[in-house]
């Protein structure tokens, strides 16, 4: 956290100066009140009736002025320090988000989205509170407490010692109760993450929940997590109550000691009443720092738990830009070469891809087909190094992808994923998402038309400006799929990767899109993963994967003549298509 301090040095300096001045003035104010009372007390040595009223008014006016200035300084302190803490919160959220964006995809496979949202919101807020109000209250205590103690010792050292003995119990209270506050703070932060995850999954999967009529199950699951959160929160509240109550008790014991011993001293004549009144003011001045100390300690405990969760994000190494010495920059044409690629997911029993080799000349079309789970999607994700690959196994234009900066490498690919994801924005913004620089309206319109979406977009009241819901939920599955195809076509990347993107459209729409794609991808390398073999019959080369290995390879006619998996699947799909036509 220390690296954020220089960014806000001016606010910290101003806030620190006003805090010290305000607390010093607060520590001196009871002396003015003491002098005002002493001027009217006939039992005080040096009492003069003729000047008593004027002296009392003068000291009282000075006391009022001191309180007013103290309030003004307190306002300036809060405005600058709390304002700095809000800007710190902004910077921390930005840095956490920037780091999250730079993390490898494999890390996101292990972390729930709702938990990440909780870290980015409630955890950052907990840290912000500790470095804002928490530090401010702690600094006020650090200035006010010694000043009050010095003033009390100077007035009556024996009474001051009597006050400090009960206050020493604070150390015992803090030592015994703070571990419980820390443990429960961590538990509350974890339960908040669980609740956020459940809510996010329920809302994102609203259609599935409704389709299976499982609203009650979702409600019960949410209630269960909510009850766990309440249980942990109440446990934290009890721990905080014991901590605050213990600290308050020590202050009450000190107050009893002052009233009992100080009153006896006044009646015995060894201490005057103005001194006792000033003592009570100083004791009250000490009580709030003691109580706020427990409050601040609890906030620090919660912030510690939150920082632990944030550190799990910030301590994770970002995705390296390159793992080999960077290659000299040059225009990329799109020639792909895969040589002996073997890849395994962490914890997997066997490799997803084994000794896979294939050559894709620039401007050609490679089709990748095969049974479910054969490694097709894994293969295309490795081309752009969405997951780390062994050096020397994947090359783009003869250059190892590990030697190309990630920004350069991934800008060379336009992806049409199997999961058609759209942002909650207009269709125009979604289609233009992958375009570099200012998108060309004519290029966007051509991409929408090539994807077979132009007629339907024209029917929407707002056309391309139609805003789709979260993840594009207001569009049909086929419309979402075609929108992602348009997004890829609107990009000028030299390599187009289509991962089974036509599975959500009918055969007629598929034929129309394929015909448009042939023209739209002119001069670009294309890697097409397909389940429906009619999609890839015109590819320059077709590779059949089975168990992560290349089982067959050739053109459409060559594979039919080979009589293997491709030929059997082709005949079966043709039969299904003929039966559908008859129906």
Tens digits of per-residue pLDDT, 255-276? 788 888 888 887 877 777 888 8
CATH T-level assignment (fold) for domain 336-582:
Rossmann fold (3.40.50)
Which candidate, 508, 529, 481, places its Cα nearest to that of 580? 508
Instruction: Examine the pLDDT at 498 and tell me if it is beyond 90.
Output: no
Question: Please, how many CA atoms are within 13 Å of residue 217, restricted to the half-sphere of its CB?
Answer: 8
Find the helix or strand (DSSP H, E) in which 514 lies: helix 507-520
Q: Compute the distance between CA of residue 494 and CA of residue 408 in angstroms, rounded to an integer.
A: 12
pLDDT of residue 209: 76
Instruction: Examine the pLDDT at 89 and tell me if it is beyond 90.
Output: no
Residue 537's contacts (CB-CB under 8 Å, 6 or more residues apart) are: 556
Asked if domains 2-314 and 336-582 share a fold, the reply is: no
Q: Compute the distance between CA of residue 581 and CA of residue 583 in angstroms, rounded to an integer.
A: 5
Do 100 and 52 touch, CB atoms closer than 8 A?
Answer: no
Do 433 and 392 touch, CB atoms closer than 8 A?
Answer: no
Q: Compute the distance between CA of residue 252 and CA of residue 257 in angstroms, rounded to an integer.
A: 9
Instruction: Examine the pLDDT at 62 and tell me if it is beyond 90.
Output: yes
Q: With bands split at pLDDT 50, 70 and 90, how would you rate the model's confidence at 426?
A: confident
Mean pLDDT of 141-156: 82
Instruction: Examine the pLDDT at 213 and tell me if it is beyond 80.
Output: no
Average pLDDT, the chain: 82
* Ordered DSSP codes for 373-389: TSSHHHHHHHHTTSS--
Residue 110 tokens read as 């292990």
| pLDDT greater at residue 337 or residue 582 | 337
| pLDDT greater at residue 315 or residue 182 | 315
Q: Compute the distance between CA of residue 321 and CA of residue 317 in angstroms, rounded to an integer.
A: 12
Most confident of 105-109, 193-197, 299-303, 422-426: 422-426
Mean pLDDT of 527-549: 88
Residue 450 tokens read as 């090539």
Query: What share of the chain in percent tops pLDDT 70?
Result: 90
Q: With bands split at pLDDT 50, 70 and 90, how would you rate the model's confidence at 553?
A: very high
Mean pLDDT of 154-168: 76
Most confident of 189-193, 239-243, 318-322, 409-413: 409-413
- State how far the alpha carbon of 90 is from the alpha carbons of 4, 124, 128, 300, in Å: 11, 9, 9, 19
Q: How many residues does the chain have?
A: 583
Q: Is the pTM of this model over 0.85?
A: no
Q: With bands split at pLDDT 50, 70 and 90, how would you rate the model's confidence at 119?
A: confident
Q: With bands split at pLDDT 50, 70 and 90, how would you rate the model's confidence at 521?
A: low
Domain boundaries defined on the chain: 2-314, 336-582
| pLDDT greater at residue 396 or residue 187 | 396
For the chain, first and last CA: distance in Å? 68
pLDDT of residue 73: 93
Coil/strand/helix, residue 548: coil
pLDDT of residue 541: 93
The 3-state secondary structure of 287-338 reads HHHHHHHHHHHHHHHHHHHHHHHHHHHHCCCCCCCCCCCCCCCCCCCCCEEE
Q: Compute the distance between CA of residue 418 and CA of residue 530 in angstroms, rounded to an integer.
A: 10
Do 181 and 236 touch, CB atoms closer than 8 A?
Answer: yes
Q: With bands split at pLDDT 50, 70 and 90, how would you rate the model's confidence at 3?
A: confident
Q: Compute the distance between CA of residue 480 and CA of residue 503 in angstroms, rounded to an integer.
A: 12
Instruction: Examine the pLDDT at 583 and tell me if it is beyond 60.
Output: no
Residue 491 tokens read as 């990009």
Most confident of 114-123, 291-300, 464-473, 492-501: 492-501
Do 498 and 329 touch, CB atoms closer than 8 A?
Answer: no
pLDDT of residue 326: 76
Q: With bands split at pLDDT 50, 70 and 90, how would you rate the model's confidence at 47?
A: low
Rg, C-alpha atoms of the chain = 36
* 2-314: CATH architecture: Up-down Bundle (1.20)
Which candidate, 144, 20, 18, places its Cα nearest to that of 83? 18
Q: Compute the distance between CA of residue 526 and CA of residue 364 in angstroms, rounded to an integer.
A: 6
Mean pLDDT of 462-471: 81
Q: Compute the distance between CA of residue 384 and CA of residue 412 in angstroms, rounded to an integer.
A: 8
Q: Compute the distance between CA of residue 212 and CA of residue 233 in angstroms, rounded to an integer.
A: 33
Do 147 and 330 touch, CB atoms closer than 8 A?
Answer: no
Bridge partner list, 426? 467
Do 277 and 91 touch, CB atoms closer than 8 A?
Answer: no
Sheet with 549-554: list strands edge to edge. Answer: 413-416, 495-499, 525-529, 365-369, 541-546, 549-554
């Amino acid at each position: 956290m220390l690296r954020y301090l220089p960014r806000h040095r001016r606010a910290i300096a101003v806030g620190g100066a006003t805090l010290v001045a305000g607390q010093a003035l607060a520590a001196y104010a009871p002396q003015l009140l003491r002098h005002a009372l002493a001027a009217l007390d006939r039992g005080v040595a040096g009492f003069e009736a003729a000047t008593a009223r004027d002296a009392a008014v003068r000291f009282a006016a000075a006391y009022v002025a001191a309180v007013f200035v103290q309030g003004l300084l307190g306002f300036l302190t809060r405005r600058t320090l709390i304002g700095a803490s809000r800007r710190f919160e902004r910077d921390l959220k930005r840095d956490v988000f920037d780091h999250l964006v730079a993390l490898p995809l494999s890390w996101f496979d292990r972390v729930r989205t709702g938990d990440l949202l909780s870290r980015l919101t409630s955890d950052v807020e907990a840290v912000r509170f500790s470095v804002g109000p928490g530090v401010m209250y702690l600094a006020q205590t650090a200035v006010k407490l010694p000043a009050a103690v010095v003033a009390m010792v100077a007035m009556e050292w024996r009474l001051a010692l009597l006050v400090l003995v009960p206050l020493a119990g604070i150390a015992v209270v803090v030592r015994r109760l703070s571990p419980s506050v820390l443990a429960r703070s961590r538990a509350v932060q974890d339960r908040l993450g669980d609740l956020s995850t459940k809510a996010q999954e329920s809302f994102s999967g609203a259609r599935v929940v409704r389709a299976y009529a499982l609203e009650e199950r979702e409600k019960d699951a949410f209630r269960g997590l909510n009850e766990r959160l309440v249980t942990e929160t109440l446990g934290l509240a009890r721990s905080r109550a014991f901590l605050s109550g213990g600290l308050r008790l020590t202050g009450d014991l000190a107050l009893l000691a002052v009233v009992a011993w100080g009153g006896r001293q006044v009646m015995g004549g060894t201490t005057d009443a103005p001194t006792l009144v000033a003592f009570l003011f100083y004791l009250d001045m000490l009580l709030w720092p003691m109580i706020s100390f427990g409050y601040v300690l609890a906030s620090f405990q919660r912030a510690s738990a939150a920082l632990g969760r944030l550190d799990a994000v910030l301590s994770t190494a970002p995705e390296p830009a390159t793992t080999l010495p960077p290659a000299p920059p040059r225009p990329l044409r799109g020639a792909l070469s895969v040589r002996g690629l073997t890849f395994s997911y962490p914890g997997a029993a066997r490799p997803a891809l084994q000794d896979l080799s294939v050559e894709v000349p620039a401007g050609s079309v490679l089709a990748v087909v095969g049974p479910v789970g054969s490694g097709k999607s894994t293969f295309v994700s490795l081309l752009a190094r969405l997951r780390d690959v062994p050096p020397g196994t994947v090359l783009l234009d003869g250059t190892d992808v590990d030697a190309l900066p990630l920004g350069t490498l991934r800008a060379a690919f336009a992806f049409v994923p199997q999961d058609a994801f759209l942002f909650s924005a207009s269709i125009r913004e979604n289609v233009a998402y992958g375009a570099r620089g200012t998108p060309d309206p004519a290029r966007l319109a051509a991409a929408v038309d090539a994807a077979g979406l132009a007629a339907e977009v024209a029917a929407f009241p707002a056309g391309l400006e139609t805003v789709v819901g979260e993840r594009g939920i207001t569009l049909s599955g086929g419309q979402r799929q075609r929108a992602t195809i348009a997004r890829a076509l609107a990009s000028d990347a030299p390599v187009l990767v289509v991962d089974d993107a036509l599975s959500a459209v009918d055969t007629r729409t598929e034929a129309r899109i394929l015909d448009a794609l042939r023209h739209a991808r002119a001069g670009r390398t294309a890697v097409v993963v397909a389940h429906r073999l009619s999609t890839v019959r015109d590819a320059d080369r077709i590779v059949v994967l089975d168990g992560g290995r290349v089982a067959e390879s050739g053109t459409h006619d060559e594979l039919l003549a080979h009589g293997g998996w491709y030929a059997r699947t082709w005949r079966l799909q043709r039969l299904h298509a003929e039966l559908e036509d008859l129906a």
